[in-house]
Structure 1
Amino acid sequence: MPAPKKNGVQTVWFQNPPVIVATATIVGSKEGQGPLGHTFDKVVEDGYYGEKTWEKGERRMLAEVMNTAIQRANLQPQNIDYLLAGDLLNQIISANFTARDLGIPFLGLYGACSTMYEGLALAGMLIDGGFAENVLVGVSSHQSTAERQYRYPTEQGVQRPLYAQRTVTGAAAAVISRQGNGPVITHATVGRVIDLGQGDPMDMGAAMAPAAADTIARHLMDTGRQPEYYDLYITGDLGTYGRELAVKLLQQKGYDLSSRFSDCGVLIFSPEQDTHAGGSGCACSGVVTCGYLIQEIRAGRLKRMLGVGTGALLSQISCQQGETVPGIAHGVVIEGR
């Protein structure tokens, strides 16, 4: 017998759609100066956020949004069944140490920049499966911590190519519950790891675009829905060039989504901010989704969206050994009520 909540090959549907009851966001100064600056809860001018290191500053941001989301849901940490969180640092230390302080049963996630949507998908499964009443999902990233881990010492000031993206400094959290008021999660499409041989660690948009196109096409095939069903298709952080590539790949598959396809990495910065191809990082899709997009759904300006978190599954070791950059993309349907 097929799994009763499996919809096609890679998609699941939720019989009792989990509710996004509360969200919280915090960003750095450059993100706050961008076109979505007014949609974030807090803008931090100091990259250290009052701490001694950038890593501790990132951890403070993550802890703050998690506590804020819990408070907005009128809950206490002990009311949260599971914490699902991750970041870009080795061994997801931002999430690990924050989980230590919160004391909530913890499942650490690493999906690179797709982690927010991976968390939303898993939260939906836990709740609709009857295993949880409330799940907290959170992510963080930081330009200065990620840059020196994945690329070059920050102090070196290495010039980046124009197709590179800037890691978003910030953190986002969402409380997903079995009942309550807010947008609902109705479907999730778990992505496959796709690698078409792109090996430049600076060009993550090109590495992730094939996975994004694969997941979107698979979701439409699994559900039997027409492209017009969704008001918006939005990827996590393909950036300017990655978005263009994903649109072309989808056209080759028979889907023309160009008029309703956007990207969080494109939206969060303006061209005048000189971030080259746009934003990236776990916080990129995290803050745009938990800030701007959820606000648009709550206001009724957006009814149905397929959000697709995208991640480049590389490490500094794999790059040094000449490996290519595999991509992953997880899709989650969020609808207003």
Structure 2
Amino acid sequence: MKNAHKKVGKQTVKLDNPPKIICTTSIVGPKEGDGPLKDYFDIILSDDTNGMETFEKAETSMMYTAIKETIEKAGLKEEDIDYLFAGDLLNQLASSSFAARDINIPFVGLYGACSTMAESIGLASLIMDGGYAENVVAATSSHFSAAERQFRFPLEYGSQRSELAQWTVTGAGAMLLSHSGNKPAVTYVTTGLVKDYGIKDASNMGAAMAPAAVDTIYRHFQDTGRAPEDYDIIATGDLGLVGKEITSKLLLEYGYDISNVYVDCGSVIYDNERQKTNSGASGCGCSAVVTCGYFYKKMLKGEIKRLLLVSTGALMSTTTSLQGESIPGIAHAVAIEYDDKLPCDSN
């Protein structure tokens, strides 16, 4: 195991050459743009079709724009980017793949359900730390209407939503990682295990994903020797109000009280009561836009120094649900750190 000297503990890698997140772009739909974090998003669509014929094409256009805008902000061109790591919720990664066909960058498609943003950041960071790339884009998207059509019921059906249900975020987030620049750096990557505690209710994804979030956070602490107080923010991806409560309680049983620093992206992107989003938000675009928008800009201002992003995913499909299968969960974590004592230039 001498060659695995960067591995710490069971599931975590400490990066010797932490890549910097030098630029980000966040694009959201009208509902997200009417929520509490609206001032932190770069682009707010006036309608969720974004001028396209279908919701699926709208999601592709968001992904494409987020990637292109991020590269342009950095003053780079497509040929300067070594890899594009991207994923979404649709079959065959349709949004990411169709966006990538119009972008001249080597493409790696990823599926981790709603954990995909941390997965893409983590894999991009690992390949950069290994010396295999200088510039990598990590991106993720989701769309409420496209996800409803694929995983539940078309909107025209008019089905009632459970109180436990969450609202899939319409949004896309992209970030450019590079070795240069004084910007927030990815320092640790903790890869999660699939956890399944027998939840079969597709409306209760927070409960299905919470055990995976707990396991990954616990493993990160065990592997690194860190504790909740070492972070300004510990953010799960989209557990919503139900999953967030479960996660807090289960981690207490392991001896970790994260209540003072714990935020769930799915619990803060909407005003749940005013916007009638039940338990909160879901979708891999959720942690993508909250991280690329809200958290990243807070870090640049020096208001957040250490962030542990734990994107969470429900590894279900319509086929497995119809076959009576339970919902496996996964969570991946990346530690992002920024020294605000150094000169800071804006995104």
TM-score clears 0.5: yes
Q: Which structure 2 residues correspond to residues 218-233 of structure 1 after superposition, within 5 A?
A: 218-233=219-234
Q: Work out the CA distance in 2 between the residues paired with 1:298 and 1:84.
A: 24
Q: Is 1:331 the counterpart of 2:324 in the alignment?
A: no
For 1:123, the aligned partner's letter is A
The corresponding residue for 1:100 is 101
Q: Work out the CA distance in 2 between the residues paired with 1:91 and 1:289.
A: 25
Q: CA deviation at 1:46?
A: 1.2
Q: Which structure 2 residues correspond to residues 133-152 of structure 1 after superposition, within 5 A?
A: 133-152=134-153
Among 313, 316, 324, the residue aligned to 1:314? 316
The corresponding residue for 2:68 is 67
The corresponding residue for 1:189 is 190
Q: CA deviation at 1:179?
A: 1.7
- Report the aligned-residue RMSD: 0.7
Q: Work out the CA distance in 1 between the residues paired with 2:296 and 2:228.
A: 21
CA contact (8 A) 2:228 2:261 kept: no
Greater mean deviation of Cα atoms: 85-94 or 176-185: 176-185
The corresponding residue for 1:248 is 249
Q: Work out the CA distance in 1 between the residues paired with 2:226 and 2:48.
A: 44
Encode CA deviations 1:202-241: one digit per residue, 9 max, x unaligned: 1100000000000000000001112211111100000001
CA contact (8 A) 2:238 2:311 kept: yes
The corresponding residue for 2:81 is 80
Encode CA deviations 1:64-97: one digit per residue, 9 max, x unaligned: 0100000011110110000000101000011001
Greater mean deviation of Cα atoms: 174-183 or 60-69: 174-183
User: What's the % identity of the aligned pairs?
Assistant: 53
For 1:194, the aligned partner's letter is K
Secondary structure in structure 1 of the residue aligned to 2:31: helix
The corresponding residue for 2:281 is 279
CA contact (8 A) 2:145 2:154 kept: no
Q: CA deviation at 1:14?
A: 0.6
Q: Is 1:169 the counterpart of 2:203 in the alignment?
A: no
Q: CA deviation at 1:323?
A: 0.3
Q: Is 1:301 the counterpart of 2:303 in the alignment?
A: yes
Q: Work out the CA distance in 2 between the residues paired with 1:17 and 1:103.
A: 26
Q: Work out the CA distance in 1 between the residues paired with 2:95 and 2:229.
A: 39
For 1:290, the aligned partner's letter is C
Q: Work out the CA distance in 2 between the residues paired with 1:179 and 1:112.
A: 31
CA contact (8 A) 2:30 2:45 kept: yes
Q: Work out the CA distance in 1 between the residues paired with 2:309 and 2:98.
A: 28
The corresponding residue for 1:209 is 210
Q: Is 1:126 the counterpart of 2:127 in the alignment?
A: yes
TM-score scaled to structure 2, two decimals? 0.96
Q: Work out the CA distance in 2 between the residues paired with 1:294 and 1:124.
A: 16
CA contact (8 A) 2:21 2:176 kept: yes
Secondary structure in structure 2 of the residue aligned to 1:118: helix
Q: Work out the CA distance in 2 between the residues paired with 1:65 and 1:203.
A: 30
The corresponding residue for 2:25 is 24
The corresponding residue for 2:293 is 291
Encode CA deviations 1:273-320: one digit per residue, 9 max, x unaligned: 110011110110000000000011110011101110100000000000
Q: Work out the CA distance in 2 between the residues paired with 1:217 and 1:166.
A: 27
Structure 1 stretches of 4+ moved >6 Å: none
Aligned residues: 337
For 2:156, the aligned partner's letter is E
Provide structure 2 residue ranges, at least 5 long, that are not aligned to the other structure.
340-347
Q: Work out the CA distance in 1 between the residues paired with 2:81 and 2:294.
A: 25
Encode CA deviations 1:37-58: one digit per residue, 9 max, x unaligned: 1100111121111111111111
Q: Work out the CA distance in 1 between the residues paired with 2:149 and 2:231.
A: 38
Q: CA deviation at 1:137?
A: 0.8
Secondary structure in structure 2 of the residue aligned to 1:259: coil
Q: Work out the CA distance in 1 between the residues paired with 2:162 and 2:47.
A: 26
Q: CA deviation at 1:181?
A: 2.6
Secondary structure in structure 2 of the residue aligned to 1:217: helix
Secondary structure in structure 2 of the residue aligned to 1:187: strand
Q: Work out the CA distance in 1 between the residues paired with 2:322 and 2:74.
A: 44
